[in-house]
């Protein structure tokens, strides 16, 4: 009812959330500086900003995880103290985290009532929740089988369970943190429809994302944060992606990668009928074949969890596979003594792994140690047979940090103290500077700020132009489309098809990503 024409009464009513002068410091780091924000009731409000801009801190304050050093929170015009998440829930705030907080081996119903049980016996609560869920499902297109076990659900459905949990707790204000990172384009569309329904019912939604396109598509207003400060709040209709990017970074940003056409050379990587079975016996890669030539970037698109990770792990040498992989025409060992990552490096394969924090870096180690991690056997890093050349390594690390503009320029600082973008630059510097023939790159800009994305993309293209073969795996379609010279789409462990970036679009790729090939050309 009148979902579109509600601007009038909103302006007179108290805002759903009003923050005044919120500040929060962690030691010398001012994560939030005198933040003021007004979120009108019944709107979708986007918050964007680079990593470390203070978005998560602000939301954590709102959800009671952190206590602000100063400032006030008003919910529906009433001053509210939020010392813990319990208080946030009773104030009507629900939060959907980027990493779901679900008990995997519980059913949907059990997850929904967890922490909101009515009495010592479960039966009554479960039945009550079952009814409530049915209503919510009808109302908001939030259908999930209440008796399904969470681990059997798709990621999109798991996210719905998170939303249901919040709604079951009578949330009037829903905060979603990077909700589409793990979704297919179709699932994301469905999510946005749900959000639209919620909004029309008068709920208030705060959407935290770094995807400018989503901001443009679904929000009513958008706030930009930079370095702990709330810069602007603007009406979405009155801005553009370029404008928002510039506000976020503080300077003009190139959203598109500037690159010359590729000049492919010799075949560097040839993969033939590769199959990978994981520890639990599930076949994750089901006989794929492709090649990458020198001087070109092959982009592998697909929703996370369709075999791309396993493909990279086999190529990188930390998972076994079957089939044939040739590098520079020579077969490489897939299961035997020389199938480890060290042997791969010896064959000229460098690898920027998907999960830089768990794999690419040792978070507790200093940047200097991380700069040689994986290459620590190399003769130039040794002082003698027994000891490593720590002083020399520090010097080399400092030089590489200079060349890759890693900030802060302190090689002694532990990796965990760098921002996502700078962590990625450390990994890139280490892997690219070893002059590999083939570079494997997984999710190069996941969790990386816009300013650093530009730099990282330029480096990858520069390496291609230097005649190296590059295999790029990314779940970001924009990234795949702007970097790749050819695009292969993976679904359920198979390559559904190959496309040239200038002869395809998001819709076409989106269908392939969902495993739909037959309708190709028909639509």
Partner 1 sequence: MNKMPRWADVVLIPLINLALAFFVAGLLVFAIGQNPFDMVYFMVKGSLGSTAGIGFTLYYATNFIFTGLAFSVAMHAKLFNIGGEGQAAIGGLGAALVLLAVPWPHWTLALPFAIAGAALFGAAWAAVPAYLQAKRGSHIVITTIMFNFIGASLLVYLLNGVLKKPGQQVAETRLFGEGAQLPTFYEMLAPLGIEFSKSAPVNISFFLAIAAAVGVYLLIWRTRLGFQIRAFGESESATAYAGISSVRVTIITMLISGALAGMLSINVVMGESERLILNFVEGAGFMGIAVALMGRNHPFGIVVAGLLFGMLNQGGFELLWEMPGISREMVLVIQALIIIFTGALVNMTRDPIERLFMRMSKEAS
Q: Which C-beta is closer to partner 1: that of 224 or that of 312? A: 312
Cβ(244)–Cβ(48) below 8 Å: yes
Stretch that binds partner 1, among 73-81, 169-177, 286-294, 360-368 (CB under 8 A): 360-368
Strands (E), 398-493: 438-442, 469-473, 486-491
Q: Does 2 engage in binding with partner 1 (CB under 8 A)? A: no
Q: How far is the CB of 361 from partner 1 (least distance, A)?
A: 7
Q: Does 382 engage in binding with partner 1 (CB under 8 A)? A: yes
Kindly state the DSSP code that residue 288 receives in the 8-state scheme.
E
Among 138, 242, 364, 435, binds partner 1 (CB under 8 A): 364
Q: How far is the CB of 274 from partner 1 (least distance, A)?
A: 19
Q: Does 363 engage in binding with partner 1 (CB under 8 A)? A: yes
Cβ(475)–Cβ(289) below 8 Å: no
Burial of 405 (0-12, 13-18, 19+ CB in 10 A): middle
First and final C-alpha spacing in the chain: 34
Nearby residues of 9 by Cβ (< 8 Å), 6 or more positions away: none
Q: Does 122 engage in binding with partner 1 (CB under 8 A)? A: no
Return the residues of window 297-336 that contact partner 1 according to CB under 8 A.
Answer: 316-318
Nearby residues of 243 by Cβ (< 8 Å), 6 or more positions away: none
Q: Does 142 engage in binding with partner 1 (CB under 8 A)? A: no
Q: How far is the CB of 350 from partner 1 (least distance, A)?
A: 12
Q: Does 345 engage in binding with partner 1 (CB under 8 A)? A: yes
Stretch that binds partner 1, among 34-42, 152-160, 185-193, 385-393 (CB under 8 A): 385-393
Q: Does 258 engage in binding with partner 1 (CB under 8 A)? A: no
Cβ(459)–Cβ(453) below 8 Å: no
User: How far is residue 19 from each of residues 72, 230, 232, 234, measured CA to CA in Å?
Assistant: 6, 11, 14, 16
Among 3, 9, 21, 29, binds partner 1 (CB under 8 A): 29
Pairing of strands 297-301, 486-491: parallel
Listed residue (316, 311, 324, 323) closest to 278, CA to CA: 311
Q: How many residues bind partner 1 (CB under 8 A)?
A: 36
Q: Does 355 engage in binding with partner 1 (CB under 8 A)? A: yes
Q: Degrees (nearest 5) of the Cα angle 136, 139, 144?
A: 50
Cβ(99)–Cβ(355) below 8 Å: no
Stretch that binds partner 1, among 121-129, 278-286, 343-351, 498-506 (CB under 8 A): 343-351
Q: Which C-beta is closer to partner 1: that of 116 or that of 414? A: 414
Q: Which C-beta is closer to partner 1: that of 113 or that of 319? A: 319
- DSSP codes joined into one string, 296-352: -EEEEE--TTSSHHHHHHHHHTSS--EEEEEETTEE--SSSTT-SHHHHHHTTEEEE
Stretch that binds partner 1, among 99-107, 147-155, 213-221, 361-369 (CB under 8 A): 361-369
Stretch that binds partner 1, among 168-176, 203-211, 338-346, 511-519 (CB under 8 A): 338-346
Q: Which C-beta is closer to partner 1: that of 374 or that of 493? A: 374
CB atoms within 10 A of CB 167: 23
Q: Does 281 engage in binding with partner 1 (CB under 8 A)? A: no
Stretch that binds partner 1, among 42-50, 276-284, 386-394, 404-412 (CB under 8 A): 386-394
What is the contact mask toward partner 1 in residues 393 to 422, using x (rule: CB under 8 A)? ------------------------x-----
User: How far is residue 519 from each of residues 245, 300, 477, 509, 514, measured CA to CA in Å?
Assistant: 36, 21, 20, 12, 12
Q: Degrees (nearest 5) of the Cα angle 11, 16, 22?
A: 110
Q: Does 341 engage in binding with partner 1 (CB under 8 A)? A: yes
Q: Does 360 engage in binding with partner 1 (CB under 8 A)? A: yes
Binding site for partner 1 (CB under 8 A): 25-29, 316-318, 340-345, 351, 353, 355, 358-365, 369, 373-374, 376-377, 382, 386-388, 390, 417
């Amino acid at each position: 009812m009148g979902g579109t024409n509600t601007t009038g009464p909103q302006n007179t009513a108290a805002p759903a959330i009003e923050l005044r002068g919120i500040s929060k410091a962690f030691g010398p780091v001012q994560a939030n500086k005198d933040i003021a924000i007004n979120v009108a009731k019944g709107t979708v409000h986007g918050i964007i900003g680079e990593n470390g801009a203070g978005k998560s801190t602000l939301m954590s304050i709102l959800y009671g995880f952190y206590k602000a050093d100063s400032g006030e929170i008003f919910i529906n015009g009433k001053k509210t103290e939020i010392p813990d998440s319990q208080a946030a829930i009773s104030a009507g705030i629900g939060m959907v985290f980027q990493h779901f907080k679900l008990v995997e081996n519980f059913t949907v119903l059990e997850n929904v009532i967890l922490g909101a049980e009515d009495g010592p016996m479960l039966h009554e609560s479960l039945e009550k929740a079952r009814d409530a869920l049915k209503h919510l499902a009808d109302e908001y297109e939030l259908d999930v089988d209440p008796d399904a076990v969470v681990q059997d659900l798709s990621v999109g459905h798991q996210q719905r369970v998170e939303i249901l949990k919040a709604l079951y707790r009578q949330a009037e204000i829903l905060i979603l943190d990077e909700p589409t990172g793990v979704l297919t384009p179709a699932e994301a569309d469905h999510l946005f429809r749900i959000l639209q329904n919620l909004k029309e019912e008068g709920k208030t939604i705060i959407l935290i994302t770094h995807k400018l396109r989503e901001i443009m598509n679904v929000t009513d207003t958008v706030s930009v944060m930079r370095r702990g400060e709330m810069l602007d709040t603007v009406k979405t209709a009155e801005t553009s992606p370029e404008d928002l990017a510039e506000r976020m970074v503080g300077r003009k940003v190139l959203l598109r990668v500037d690159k010359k056409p590729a000049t492919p050379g010799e075949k560097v990587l040839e993969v033939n009928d590769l199959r990978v079975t994981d520890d639990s016996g599930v076949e994750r890669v089901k006989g794929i074949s492709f090649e990458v030539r020198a001087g070109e970037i092959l982009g592998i698109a697909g929703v996370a969890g369709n075999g791309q990770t396993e493909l990279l792990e086999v190529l990188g040498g930390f998972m076994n596979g079957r089939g044939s992989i040739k590098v520079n025409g020579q077969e490489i060992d897939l299961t035997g003594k020389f199938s480890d990552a060290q042997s791969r490096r010896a064959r000229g394969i460098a690898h920027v792994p998907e999960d830089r924090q768990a794999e690419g870096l040792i978070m507790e180690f200093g940047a200097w140690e991380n700069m040689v991690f994986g290459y620590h056997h190399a003769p130039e890093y040794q002082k003698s047979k027994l000891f490593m050349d720590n002083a020399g390594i520090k010097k080399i690390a400092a030089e590489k940090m200079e060349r890759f503009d890693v900030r802060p320029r302190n090689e002694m600082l532990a990796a965990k103290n760098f921002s996502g973008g700078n962590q990625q630059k450390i990994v890139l510097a280490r892997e690219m500077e070893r002059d590999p023939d083939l570079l494997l790159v997984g999710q190069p800009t996941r969790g990386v700020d816009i300013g650093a994305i530009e730099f990282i993309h330029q480096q990858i293209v520069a390496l291609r132009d230097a005649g190296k073969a590059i295999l790029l795996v990314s779940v970001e379609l924009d990234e795949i489309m702007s970097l790749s010279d050819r695009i292969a789409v993976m679904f359920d462990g198979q390559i559904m098809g190959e496309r040239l970036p200038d002869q395809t679009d998001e819709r076409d790729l989106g269908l392939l990503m969902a495993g739909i090939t037959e309708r190709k050309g028909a639509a």
